[in-house]
Amino acid sequence: MAATLLTIPADACVLVDSLGTWLTNLVDLPEAEWRQRQTQFLQSLAQATCQVILVAEETGWGVVPAYPLGRTFCDRMGRLTRQVGQLADPVYLVVAGPCHRSAHLGANRPPRVADNLKLSKHLTAARTSQAQQR
């Protein structure tokens, strides 16, 4: 998926539904190889010129799997989701239907309707650095 993101035209929009499915295909890789694939994906995501919308499963709120491969999946999914969230602007959490902008979680004011209706912006290194400078 990393290489594909870099070939998509800037005026396109890509929906990746879901990161968990992508991870499932790679979950049995040794840790070092997984980290390399993860890094390649994150770098491509930061460099992509197209609009990218990602859907990620929340694995940290459920039961801890009894088997090692399930725990590996949950651990990797959690790390991947956090790292993608650092690149994305905005990030939304959808729980049982309602959509919440993560920047507003824990805030004392309710989010504006307009904030919840915005589509994801381009995931580029430039946007990431702009957000960090604010």
Q: Which residues of 11-23 are buried (b: 16+ CB within 10 A; e: fewer)?
A: eeeeebeebbebb
Give the count of domains, the chain. Answer: 1
More confident residue, 94 or 21: 21
- Determine the pLDDT at residue 9: 96
- Determine the pLDDT at residue 89: 85
Strands (E), 5-116: 13-17, 51-55, 92-94, 99-101
Task: Give the mean model confidence (pLDDT) for residues 6-12.
Answer: 96
pLDDT single digits (tens) 74-129:
999 999 999 999 998 889 888 888 888 887 676 665 555 544 444 444 444 445 55
- Determine the pLDDT at residue 34: 97
**CATH for 126:** 3.40.50.300
Nearest to 48 by CA among 120, 108, 104, 114: 120
Which residue segment(s) compose the domain that 79 sits in?
2-133
Nearest to 27 by CA among 83, 81, 69, 63: 69
- Determine the pLDDT at residue 52: 94
42 vs 48, 72, 118, CA distance in Å?
10, 19, 23
CA dihedral 7, 40, 54, 15 (to 10 degrees): 20
Q: What are phi and psi of 14, to 5 degrees?
A: -115, 135
pLDDT single digits (tens) 23-66:
999 999 999 999 999 999 999 999 999 999 999 998 888 888 99
Nearest to 56 by CA among 41, 43, 68: 41
Question: What three-state secondary structure class fits 5?
Answer: helix
